[in-house]
Amino acid sequence: MLVKLHSTIVIVFCFSQLKWTTGFGLGPCPKIENTRTINTTKLTGHWFEIERSFYLMELISTCVTLDLNENARGRFDVSVNTRSAWTGIFSISEGIAIPTKVDPTLYLYKVNSRLPRLINRYLPGTGFYKVLKTDYNNYLVVYSCTNYQIIHLDMIWIWGRKNEIDAELRSDLYALLNKYDIDTERLILSKSNNCTDEYYDDLDYYY
Ligand SMILES: *[C@@H]1O[C@H](CO)[C@@H](O)[C@H](O)[C@H]1NC(C)=O
Ligand SMILES: *[C@@H]1O[C@H](CO)[C@@H](O)[C@H](O)[C@H]1NC(C)=O
């Protein structure tokens, strides 16, 4: 009896950990209707990670940026850049995002990575990602959700054209996410406040 109780507690504990780290929810993924199309040209360019719903290892948790380049037929060439907090060296994960026919705001992302698997595990992997909302000039909200029988796992990112967004916009975006029953309490501020200009110069140089 005691043993049984213990295992229940452990399971509950694990689930709450899982919820915190990966975004676990009961029931299927929220139904999000497709209301818009994406102007591929306007979405291209450089984006800074502002917030995300899951932990990255401290090792790579700084200065995550995203570059979108227009490819043929509404596709994007994608690169996700991160800087190692330990070495200052940055890494790039590359892939391609292909809009789906059913929903032009839903992209199939395929990773074409040069990173070690350990690091790569913490970056967006191959799968479906939805552009929940963007105004092209300030913010981009990306959502990914996978159904596993009676639960779902999801991930949220807020990206900005600058490395921070103002409080009013943040609360508008939180309201939007809450409207879709997406839990904003899980969002974690990305560590991008110590990305020096030097670093971005280096990035330009790299290309
Ligand atoms: C997309 O945006 C570009 C650049 O602002 C504009 O020239 C083009 O007309 C837009 N395309 C559509 C289909 O609205
Ligand atoms: C910013 O980076 C410098 C140099 O790497 C480091 O000494 C400092 O502690 C960092 N500051 C913050 C707030 O992370």
Distance 38 CA to ligand 1 centre (A): 10
| Cα 180 from Cα 176, distance rounded (Å) | 7
Ligand 1 mean position to 40 CA, how many Å? 8
Q: How far is the CA of 50 from the centre of ligand 1 (A)?
A: 26
Residues of the chain with pLDDT under 50: 8-20, 197-207
Query: Which has the closest alpha carbon to 192: 52, 79, 97?
Result: 52
pLDDT at site 193? 57
In sequence order, the β-bridge partners of residue 145 are 154
- Choose the residue to mutate in 36, 37, 40, 42 for probing ligand 1, maximizing ligand atoms within 8 Å of C-beta: 42
Residue 205 pLDDT: 39
Token pair belonging to 84: 């190692």
Copy the structure tokens of residue 9: 């507690």
For ligand 1, residues with CB inside 6 Å are 39, 41-42
Measured in Å, residue 39 CA sits from the centre of ligand 1 at 6
- How far does Cα 117 stand from its chain's mean position? 18
Determine the distance separating the centroid of ligand 1 and the alpha carbon of 37, expressed in angstroms.
11
Q: Which atom of ligand 1 is nearest to 39's Cα?
A: 1
Cβ contacts of 205 within 8 Å, gap of 6 or more = none
The ligand with the least distance to the CA atom of 70 is: 1
Which residue's CA is minimally distant from atom 12 of ligand 1?
39
pLDDT of residue 166: 92
**What is this structure's pTM?**
0.78
Query: Residue 39: nearest ligand to its CA?
Result: 1
Atom of ligand 1 nearest to the CA of 40: 1
User: Residue 170: what pLDDT?
Assistant: 93
What pLDDT sits at residue 107?
Answer: 94
Q: What per-residue confidence (pLDDT) applies to 13?
A: 46
